[in-house]
Structure 1
């Protein structure tokens, strides 16, 4: 077995959903290391220490919204090119608009989420630049 070549950061506060997403990752992506953060602050701490290849991001988190965190990342040159897939229970039109402004690759309902969205994001060269 080869070394892990990419890191996926799952930002999700539900233990059930963390495990569900981790199982999808483990089954479909053998060379991807999976890290989990339950809050935006934990995600920031992870990203300050480790290179991150892709972020799977819930919108409703204990310390803020994933859509706002995606906007924050899009404004930081160090993180703006990391592909993000938002995985949310109830995607709203407002969340879609904010996610699109942040260059999020996909916004997916948790019940529809699967490996194809991760493949698309990992194969996406870079998130589009945010238009002001």
Structure 2
């Protein structure tokens, strides 16, 4: 699991990026870096490593790809939603090709946004952090 710490966080917030592409990991890290919250970033390239990160640390926000080497992000979002210890963490799915099937699962799991990677930006992160525990599906 990688950690990016380009900026000092203004508080103890941590964003977990679950993405196997290093290019997309860096893109998402730069978006987090530009957000007003200045969170620490942890990166997991697989769902297995994401589960380990969630078991060890307090995560404030999850950015989740749908196609991962060991599973499907939308299924993982449902797993998170069914866990009382993790269900309050805001989740944004950032995917190359959001499909209607993925959007349906994401909505069932309380995912805040499903966003195409090309359109992902600071506004989604800041809105997710403002929403906090008030998870409402907002699919774009």
Question: Taking structure 2 as the reference length, what is the TM-score of the superposition?
Answer: 0.87
Q: Structure 2: any 5+ residue segments left out of the alignment?
A: 1-7
Q: 2:63·2:93 contact (CA, 8 Å) conserved in 1?
A: yes
Alignment of 1:1-132 (within 5 A): 3-29=10-36, 31-126=38-133, 127=135
After the TM superposition, which parts of structure 1 deviate over 6 Å for at least 4 consecutive aligned residues?
Answer: none
Question: Taking structure 1 as the reference length, what is the TM-score of the superposition?
Answer: 0.92
| Cα deviation, residue 125, structure 1 | 3.0
CA RMSD of aligned residues (A): 1.4
Q: Structure 1: any 5+ residue segments left out of the alignment?
A: none
| Cα deviation, residue 26, structure 1 | 1.3
Partner Cα distance (2:132, 2:16) in 1: 18
